[in-house]
Amino acid sequence: MRAVLIGNAGGSDAGFVGNRLRERGFAFAEGQREHPADWPALDGVELVLTLGSEWNVYRPETAASVEAEAALVRDAVERGVPLLGICFGAQVLAHALGGTVSRSSTPEIGWVTIAVDGPPVASGPWMEWHDDVFTAPADFDVLARNDVGPQLIRGPRTVGTQFHPEVTETMVRDWLEHGGAESYRRHGGDPDALLAATRANVASSRPAAEALVDWFLESVAAA
């Protein structure tokens, strides 16, 4: 089964989510956010996965690429192609379909729990790494939230997560080594402690991510 993955150059590791989708029979064609003209077409595609990013939806320097991704989201929704957006991908999803994205007064970096209402999705701990908050499009349901804002939204054959179900220890180590450690310290965090927490938490977040993918495929994408 054909799937399209959208991520930034050097940041297209779909981690546990990608692994589970491959186990379920999907093969990915990748598109880099920096080069939207080269993205795969959606003809014959059975799933779209959009990943997180260091970008912000509202920054003018990336506006053209954000709008290209928003157009892809709208195209997928109109075609009925199942779409799963993670963190920045969920923010673009919200932006594309009438929700809002703005700077949060409370950046979230680290392992957090969320309040889930309905779907068989774990409350966490899930990795968060973002400083924005979004509102859901009008026809979407908010299925999980915390004090900062929505964490899991669902629309027709479409799901967005503010948290990172895909994250692995290797990914967090890479984020820390490429500028994330300094950012985390500015927010009062200890990068070594975050890496230790990641090492402990992925033991439960991996099966939780697999269960989330299974729910998405069987209850959302199949609807």
DSSP string, 31-48: EETT-GGGPPP-TT--EE
In a domain, 199, yes or no: no
Mean pLDDT of the chain: 96
95 is catalytic: no
Report which residue type is found at 178: H
CB 14 within 8 A of CB 166: yes
Confidence of residue 91 (pLDDT cuts 50, 70, 90): very high
At 82, which CATH number?
A: 3.40.50.880
128 is catalytic: no
pLDDT in tens, 184-215: 898 788 999 999 999 999 999 999 999 999 99
178 is catalytic: no
Q: Which of 87, 95, 108, 128 is catalytic?
A: 87
Q: Which of 95, 128, 130, 164 is catalytic?
A: 164
Report the share of the chain in percent with pLDDT over 70.
Answer: 100
In a domain, 44, yes or no: yes
- Range 13-29 burial, b when 16+ CB lie within 10 A, else e: bbbbbbbbbeeeebebe
Domain count, the chain: 1
- Closest of 100, 101, 69, 88 to residue 129, by C-alpha: 88
pLDDT in tens, 130-182: 999 999 999 999 999 999 999 999 999 999 999 999 999 999 999 999 888 88
Tell whether pTM > 0.95: yes
Q: Which of 69, 108, 128, 166 is catalytic?
A: 166
In a domain, 48, yes or no: yes
Provide mean pLDDT across the span 37-47. Answer: 97
In a domain, 181, yes or no: no
Q: How far is it, in rounded angstroms, from Cα 127 to Cα 109?
A: 7
Residue 17 sits in which domain range? 2-166+208-221
